[in-house]
Amino acid sequence: EDQVTQSPEALRLQEGESSSLNCSYTVSGLRGLFWYRQDPGKGPEFLFTLYSAGEEKEKERLKATLTKKESFLHITAPKPEDSATYLCAPAISGGYNKLIFGAGTRLAVHP
Amino acid sequence: GAGVSQSPSNKVTEKGKDVELRCDPISGHTALYWYRQSLGQGLEFLIYFQGNSAPDKSGLPSDRFSAERTGGSVSTLTIQRTQQEDSAVYLCASSGGELAGDTQYFGPGTRLTVL
């Protein structure tokens, strides 16, 4: 059975305090792994896609990495505006990008 | 339009009533997805449409749920005889634009409350 686990469930950081979010997955036929950001009351906003182990992508203070069993979202020197829920979603094979979402990590960055 | 739009943004209904939720995908996107997000839960896949192909309905939780996509564009998700456990945010996504590859872009969602 396809499973995605994100940890921690919630994370509180001080502004400037770097940390990492974890996404562990067990899926059949990984086609890629997607990271999204979701603000309260809004739909998920696309951040990154990673396709193969060892791949890294960066955007501002965020860097996503991928191994065969996990993905990490590293947040460097976060700011309060980085506060959101971060969702990880492996895409499994089956003719299209079927995404299996984790429950997310709620990040709160305090000044 | 510039992004995926959904209507209504909020819907309150009584148990047993039918509801219709609408999704307008990004212009030119051929694939459309519906998800459900319950409080504190991850997004749960409901249904997938691709062009004129038969949809993948494998995620629909019961036969009270149905969806259609007219003319390869707008989609409507219908929930018949609503139950309190149907209360959730229903999200629509589209993909397949010329430059976007397989990335799914989400709308703002419809928050459904069943009393």
Interval B28-79: pLDDT, tens: 888 999 999 998 788 999 999 988 888 999 999 999 999 999 887 999 999 9
Task: Say what percent of chain A tops pLDDT 70.
Answer: 98
Has residue B97 got a pLDDT over 90? no
| B25 has a chain A CB within 8 A of its CB | no
**pLDDT confidence of residue A1:** 84
Nearest residue, CB atoms, A97 vs list B42, B104, B105: B104
Is A109:A15 a contact under the CB 8 Å cutoff? yes
H or E element, residue A111: none
**To which residue do tokens 């059975």 refer?**
A1
C-alpha to C-alpha distance for B31 and B73, rounded to whole angstroms = 9
Strand partners, A19: A75
Confidence category of residue B99, pLDDT binned at 50, 70, 90: very low
**pLDDT confidence of residue B51:** 82
Residues from chain A that touch B48, judged by Cβ atoms under 8 A, are: 96, 98
Q: 10 Å Cβ neighbour count for A12?
A: 13
- Taken in order A55, A92, A26, A106, the sign of the CA dihedral is positive
Closest by CA position to B35, among listed B15, B71, B8, B65: B65
CB spacing of B106 vs A91 below 8 angstroms: no
**pLDDT confidence of residue B1:** 53
Is B38:B46 a contact under the CB 8 Å cutoff? no
Residues from chain A that touch B34, judged by Cβ atoms under 8 A, are: none
Nearest residue, CB atoms, B102 vs list A4, A97, A101: A97
CB spacing of A46 vs B104 below 8 angstroms: yes
Report the largest interatomic distance among the alpha carbons of chain A, rounded to a whole angstrom: 45
Residues from chain B that touch A41, judged by Cβ atoms under 8 A, are: 108
**Tell me, what amino acid is at B44?**
E
